[in-house]
Structure 1
Amino acid sequence: MIQSYAIITGASKGIGRAIALELARRGYSLLLIARSATLLEETAALARKAGAAEVRPMALDLTKAESVTAVLQEVQRNNLPVNVLVNNAGYGAWGRFDTLSLEEQDAMMRINMHVPVELTHGLLPLLKSRQPAYILNVASTAAYQAVATLALYAASKAFILQFSRALRIELKKSGVSVTCLSPGPTETNFMSQAGMHHPKMIQRASKFNMTPEAVAKFAVKGMFAGKNEIIPGVTNSVSALLTRFVPKAITEKIAAGLYEV
């Protein structure tokens, strides 16, 4: 009998795939969600080899309003014993706010904010019945200060950070632990997907890059340890800490400088 199921959004590659494999090694069954069916099948195959008891890939476009309903129906229809939810799906759009299309930014806000909120709300009754249960929300070090040319991305991740902090307090006595993961630059396709193709930006980020696998190890270990927040890497941890003590004007200027061309 399957004892524990984890739902992971954005599981087709990068940090999402790496977290899926970490959980597979712990014997978890997985409901994997992403848009690309081909990449999801690759993740599913790797997860089975890693030790997942059962794997269900579910190709969905999370920008569509009905996608979350489809996930909830899949869980209910198959009576999946979910006790881990990883809200990982997300992306950025680089450029001045007024030069990016509103349609593009609306889609990003849905993936980065609305989907985690809707999934969490829909799954909380089940998670409360499956104690101990865990929610891992993926934010970013961009959440700790405003970032020019990534204005809405940084704002959406700040939303996830504050949502996670408040939800953790609300659920303190429920048996559901809430953890927020805030990775810094990671070896994924984030920059290319965000339109950040300039060699200078790529070079700057590469100095601090962590592998998705390293981030996932921090994430899964910290989640099961019940940590409030996880910031993988010493440089990332220090930069987030400095935002508490250094004037915002300075941290925001530094952050903007990372993405200037």
Structure 2
Amino acid sequence: MSYALVTGAAKGIGKAIAAELAQRNYHLLLVDLDDTSLQETATALVGLYHVHVHTLHQDLSQPDALSRVTTWSSRWHDQLSVVVNNAGYGINGAFENLTLEEQFNIIDVNVKAQVGLSYAYIPVLRRFPKSWLLNLASTTAYQTVPYLNIYAATKAFALSFTRGLRYELRHSPISVSALSPGSTDTDFVNRARMGGSTRKLADRFNMTPEKVAKIAVNGLFKGKAEIVPGFVNKLNAFLPKFFPKPLVEKIAANIYEQREETPAVIITPG
């Protein structure tokens, strides 16, 4: 009996990854801040795939989050061979117009939680002949993104951290991968109250969470270092290096700059 742990699993990409793993007969340990949606997801997955699903309602930005998650999961550590650090979010707005507290909170979730959970579960994953660690980055990791500045910076950290960790663990049984999705068709656009032009642009390039999850899990089990789902997203990830940085930044800024009629909003692409 094998278990997989997925953070940010109540909705979106995290939920879809959990479903993809359940289809492969993994029992699930699911963590999320949204307890209601988390319970709904767990019930649905049990009904569809007849796997065991255990849930933990936890805000990963809290100081005691790491100890709470690892203490809760400890009873399944002898069977836990997959860990997915999916949880993360961002805030759309100018750096100086957003509070320092909320921007530190992004760093707590996107960086500190991912690093802490990776550190905590490496000894667990070493117990198996083969095991897998997937960290969520983003296509924003490959460039500077004004007005989504802190989010993009944390994703650049996640990508660099995961690349380095993969090398350090190359002789271990743990296969480490980074997932860098682009625009994905979740309900984060509605929650974010994003402007009409940004919505229209996202709609043109959206992938479904299910498609992202299938590519992610297939890539994970194939041992890929970096998984960028979709041809357009691959272009978005790799083309910026061939263009002048000011041009790339201007294009990104035109997408995310807040107009007068559009307030700063929270983006939760997980």
Which bin holds the TM-score, normalised by the shorter protein? Answer: over 0.9
CA contact (8 A) 1:83 1:131 kept: no
Q: Deviations over 1:214-254 (max 9, x none)?
A: 10011000000000111111111012111232222222222
Q: In the alignment, what sits opposite 2:131? A: 133
Q: 1: distance between equivalents of 2:106 and 2:193?
A: 16
**1:21 corresponds to which of 19, 23, 43:** 19
TM-score (norm 2): 0.92
Q: Deviations over 1:119-168 (max 9, x none)?
A: 11011101011231111111111111000000000000000000010000
Letter in 2 for 1:216: A
Q: 2: distance between equivalents of 1:191 and 1:156?
A: 20
Q: In the alignment, what sits opposite 2:4? A: 6
Q: In the alignment, what sits opposite 1:217? A: 214
Closer/same/farther in 2, CA of residues 147 and 77 from structure 1, 3 Å limit: same
Q: 2: distance between equivalents of 1:202 and 1:223?
A: 30
Quote the offset at 1:192 in angstroms: 4.3
**Whose RCO is larger (CA < 8 A, sep 6+)?**
2
Moved more, 46-55 or 211-220: 46-55
Q: In the alignment, what sits opposite 1:100? A: 98
Letter in 2 for 1:199: G
Quote the offset at 1:196 in angstroms: 4.9
Q: 2: distance between equivalents of 1:148 and 1:71?
A: 33
Count of equivalent residues = 258
Q: 1: distance between equivalents of 2:50 and 2:216?
A: 18
CA contact (8 A) 2:3 2:76 kept: no
> Where does structure 2 lack aligned partners over 5 or more consecutive residues?
260-270
CA contact (8 A) 1:180 1:230 kept: yes
Q: Deviations over 1:17-54 (max 9, x none)?
A: 00000000000011000012211111111221332531
Structure 1 position 189 matched with structure 2 position 187: yes
Q: 2: distance between equivalents of 1:141 and 1:212?
A: 15
Q: In the alignment, what sits opposite 2:45? A: 47
Letter in 1 for 2:177: T
> Where does structure 1 lack aligned partners over 5 or more consecutive residues?
none
Moved more, 112-121 or 196-205: 196-205
Letter in 1 for 2:26: Y
